[in-house]
Structures are given as structure tokens and as C-alpha cells.
Structure 1
């Protein structure tokens, strides 16, 4: 009888191991097949979660037709994305043609520096000499810069190729996000069911809501702030007549999204304005405006980044920065979600332990209940 029980137990254990092995093989195979589309689907989910409140409000005005509302949002998004790119492309083509014309006609030259440049501390005198030599001998400047330009050009072309691929992925992700929003109710119910299956009916619903609110908070607190900075800095650049104001404003937007200091753009622009236009009321006002616009994220980030999220703002901020360092732009959204969920689970575990060992309050003790002496 004992041997029969041992054989049955061994057979059940073997069945469990075989099933676990087959499930592992199936999971690995599914992940390998799905991996090339992982980034695309993550972007699609992030866009869908971010834009779904707008889709809901628009659908309410269209007799609750979520599909039509999603189509309108996708078309508007594509239009807002393609129109600046078309204008930017046209501006780049015009600039290249003008540069080619200047090279062919021999009209390309650098204006001599202002005498005030020589008075700048530390770098003023060598910069003035280099600038003056370059303005009088263009061939010498090209000869000096050519070895450095070749390496930089390779890096720039590589980055542009990566940016082009990223833009194409973003467009496809926006279209897929529209399909997800068109079936938003089913998607929300599915997410709730998955979270409830993993963490239980109560905590699962809380975690699903936490992930949703975190993604939206990061979208508002990172992308929204970067867009505000681009508008503020761009207005100053256009009013001051800075060459390439559109490209510089776009660079401000990219730096803001990548959580890099916008001062990398604003400080050289301020120096350029003082070097060519001198010190005047207009240049001082422009410098103050541009400097404040570049630092506005330090004020807006604490206000917007943690809004609507039931975890402290530093947790979301650290998750955004750490996720971006680890996984690039997509980590900017994944990092806060993972860190917020981990923080929530950890604090729930901490306070649950306190609830288990907490004594019963005196006013809750029934005087008729027998006590054990």
C-alpha cells in the first residue's frame, strides 16, 4: 500500500514537472515571437492609456461612438505630427540649397567678432583671435574643422536614422492606440481581470488604477512640461529673430522629454545674442525670459508629475529618471509604473503587518464578553 502511494506521488510529481516544462517552453516561444513587437505595443498601450480620457469625452458628444472618436483623435494626431515635420523638412531643404549657393558663389563668410568678445573672462582673448582668423580665412577654418566634422557627421547621420525609425514606430503605435481606444471598455475590463487574477479582486483593481494614473501623470508631467518649455523658449527665439528658431525650439522639446537640462540650448543662445547684438534692454529682457523659461520645469514638475497618483512624487520622479537611463524613452513611462507598483505593494505589506498585531481599542471591548484570567 505504501509503495502504491509512493508510485502515485512520483507519477503526479512527474506530471507536474512535465506540464511546468511545457508551459515554460510555450512562454519562451511566445516571448521570442512577440519580442520584435514589444516596443511598438508598449508605445501603443501608453498612448491609448494617455489619450483614453479625451476619447471618452469626445465619444460622449458623438452618441458614445468610441470608434469614431478614436479615428478623429488619430487623424488629428497624425496631422499635428506630420505638419511640423513637413515644414521642418522644407526648411532644411531651403537651408541646404542656400548653403550650396553660397559655396558655389564664394559668398560664404563669417562676420568678424565684436571687440567686446576679447574682454570676456578666461576665454575672451583666445576666442577673439580664433574668430578673427576664421573670419578672414575660411579655407583655414574648413581645414581645421574637417577632421572633427567627419566624426560628428557620422554620429548625426546615425542619430537621424534612428530618429526616423522611431518616428515611424510612433506613427504606427498611434494607429494601434486608436484601435485599442475604439474597444476601450473591453480593454479596461480585461486589464482589471488580469490585475485581479494576479493580486486579488481588491488589490488588483487598485494596482490597475495605479498603473493607469501613473502613465497619465508621467505623460502630463514630462511631455506636457517639455511642450510648455518649447512654447516659452520658442516665442522668445522668434521675437528675437534668432536663426533656426524652429529647430532650436524642437531641440528644447527633445531635451525636455529626455530629462536633460534645457540650458544646453538656452545658454549658448543667450551668449550668441549678447555677442552679436550687444547689451541692451531687448537683449537683457530676452536673456531673463529665456533663462526663466528654461528653468520652468523645476516649478511645474512637482505640480504635475505626481498629480492624481497615490504615491509620493519623488517615487514617480526617480522612476522616470531611472527608467530612462536604463531603457531609454520607453523607460520614462515603464520605470515610474514599476516603481510605483513596487512601492505600493511594499507599503501595503508594511501596514498590513501593523494591522495584524494592533491591539483592540478599549472602547471596542464588550463588557459582557467573558475574559480569561
Structure 2
């Protein structure tokens, strides 16, 4: 006979469950602003884990404070140094741009010679004469642009920069403690995964880690490669500020087909200089580079580590970017890869799922009677 469960024990279990769900929901609501920092710290920790493990093996005494502090400082420098160089270059260009605007307000913007070689050149020339050719028209357009962009967007840009700066600072703090408590945290996560999900819990954790690393390799490294190749193309073609534009291309190339926006900017700069042939060549070479990277190299690097078809990789990346911004580049494919792994386990195609035994063979038919 089965023992009747104690009603008090059952009530206590339900009370603990309700309390746990309530506390988790309240904690998520309380820390919603810093959840991106936690996710960023986890992504960065997974990305640098192989190098960090080697550093721990060579310097075991630095596990407490020194190695986490050094690793966090290096990550901060990797982000802040290119950002500072970009801000310095942007400030330099802003001075040049302001001087150009002041000259345009005083004298107008003459119609460039290359405008006559474009399609619909008559309509474009008429628009140019009406809006930019005279000082009065240029001053009016500049006042309209300043009123729309500067007045309305300056406060939003300032708030966004302050918010992102706080998130970045908290990400560094979280990363420091994550690296310092890495071993204990991984052990606790493995125990919790086995208790909640059974034998497949550890596989899900490994799949998440592999997905994040594969996405980093396929997006970041391939994006850096695209930016380096296109920087050389920009230098040969004579694009203004080729190194800065190559750096921006590398960042945009982390999003599939995002580098095409930078190719268009480079082409516009070349057309502004009258180099239409080089503009066509830059755009053609850029699309070839993007085609090879996005259709051959990137699917092999991401799909090979996640066992995920590139269509689902693309959905995870684009959907993640739309929902979570830059963080979605890494979170989206990891979520998709884990979901596909669970689906394969459910339909019997995952690792560790044994095939169903074959049905027994039907008995052989008896031989025909011998009438001889």
C-alpha cells in the first residue's frame, strides 16, 4: 500500500514554490536595468575562457584578485581605446564639417561636375539650384537640419550615452566577480542543471557555451577580417579616411549584410570626388567579400559549432539584434541552437538517443512442395 502524503508537507512544498517564483519575479523586475550587463559579462567570460584558463595554469597564484583584475582591465582597454580614437577622429572631422557649413552658408554650394553624369541629372540639378546653390537656400536648409536633428536628438543622444556608460561600467564589475568565482559558479550551475533537467542539463549548458563561442568566431572574427580587407580596398581606391572607415566596416560586418551600408558611404564619398569608376569597383568588391563571408565562411564557423542550419542562425542574429540590440548578436543564435537541440532530442535525433530496435524479421516462407 502506498503511504498517504502528509497534507502539511504538500502545503509546504506549494508555499516554497510560490515564494520562489515570487522572489525570482521580484528580483528580475528589480534588476531589469542591469540584466544586459549580466548577459554581456557572461558572453565576454565565455569568449575569453580558453585564454583565461591558460593564464590560470601558468599563474595559479593569481586566481583570487590579480588575474580577474588584469582580464577586466584588458577588456576595458580593448573597448575604450578604439572608442577614444574614433571620438578624436570624429571631433577632428566635426571641425572640418562645421567650417564647410559656414563656407556654404556664406557662398552657397556650387553644383558639382559629376552631377551631370548621373541619371535624372536635370531634376537633380534643379533641386540643387533651389536648395544649395545660393547662400540663402543653403542657410535655410542648414537651419532646418539643425532644428530637426540637433534640437530634438541631442538630449536623447546624451541620455543614451550616459545609460550605455553605466551599463558598460557595471558589465566590467560583473565580469570581475564572474571570473573570480568562475569555478564555484560553474559547479553550482552543473548541479542545478542536473537537478532541474536531468542528464540533458549539462548538455544544454555545453550547447549554450559552444553556440556563444561559435557566434563570436563567426561574427566578430569574420567581421574583423572583412574590415581589414575593405580597409586595403579603401586605401587603394582613395577613399577619405580609409582606416576609420575600415574600422566602422568591421563593426557593421558583424551584422549580416550590415557592411553594405558602409560600402554605400564609401561609394558616396568617391562619387563626391568624381571617382565614379572607383565607386563602382569598391561596391562590387565589397559585395563579393560579403557574399563569401556570409555564405561560406560564417555558416561554416557558426553552424559547425552549433549544429544549426544557417537559416536559423540568421533568424537568431537578426531577431536578437532587433530585440536586444548588439547583445542579441550572441544571445539569439545561442537560444536558437539550444531550442533546436531540445527539438532533436524530442524527435529522437539528438545525441544519446538510441534508435528504436528493428522489427523482427518475418519467418521465411516454407519451400514449395516437391511434386517430383
What TM-score do you get using the length of structure 1 for normalisation? 0.78
Deviation at 1:254, TM superposition (A): 4.2
Deviation at 1:143, TM superposition (A): 0.8
Change (3 A) 1:247 1:167: farther
> Aligned ranges for residues 1-373 of structure 1 at < 5 Å?
14-63=11-60, 65-66=62-63, 68-100=66-98, 110-114=109-113, 116-121=114-119, 123-131=120-128, 136-153=133-150, 154-155=152-153, 158-159=156-157, 161-200=159-198, 202-245=199-242, 248-259=245-256, 261-279=258-276, 285-299=281-295, 300-351=297-348, 355=354, 358-359=357-358
Change (3 A) 1:49 1:242: same
Change (3 A) 1:134 1:16: closer
Deviation at 1:309, TM superposition (A): 2.1
**Correspondence for 2:370:** none
> Bigger CA drift: 22-31 or 8-17?
8-17
Deviation at 1:243, TM superposition (A): 3.5
Q: Gaps spanning 5+ residues in structure 2: where? A: 362-372
Deviation at 1:230, TM superposition (A): 2.5
Q: Gaps spanning 5+ residues in structure 1: where? A: 363-373
Deviation at 1:178, TM superposition (A): 3.6
Rounded Cα–Cα distance in structure 2 between residues aligned with 1:139 and 1:247: 34
Residues 214 and 309, structure 1, Cα contact 8 Å, conserved in 2: yes
Rounded Cα–Cα distance in structure 2 between residues aligned with 1:298 and 1:286: 18
Question: What's the CA shift string for 1:194-253, capped at 9, x where partnerless?
Answer: 2212221x3122111101001111122222233222323333334544335455445434
Rounded Cα–Cα distance in structure 2 between residues aligned with 1:306 and 1:352: 17
What is the DSSP-based 3-state SS (H/G/I as helix, E as strand, rest coil) of the residue aligned with 1:359?
Answer: coil
**Correspondence for 2:368:** none
Change (3 A) 1:165 1:292: farther
Deviation at 1:349, TM superposition (A): 1.6
Rounded Cα–Cα distance in structure 2 between residues aligned with 1:228 and 1:109: 41
Q: Give me the CA root mean square deviation.
A: 3.5
Residues 217 and 309, structure 1, Cα contact 8 Å, conserved in 2: yes
Rounded Cα–Cα distance in structure 1 between residues aligned with 2:168 and 2:117: 48
Rounded Cα–Cα distance in structure 2 between residues aligned with 1:288 and 1:352: 42
Rounded Cα–Cα distance in structure 1 between residues aligned with 2:12 and 2:56: 51
Residues 52 and 181, structure 1, Cα contact 8 Å, conserved in 2: no
Residue-pair matches, total: 353
Deviation at 1:48, TM superposition (A): 0.5
> Bigger CA drift: 242-251 or 42-51?
242-251
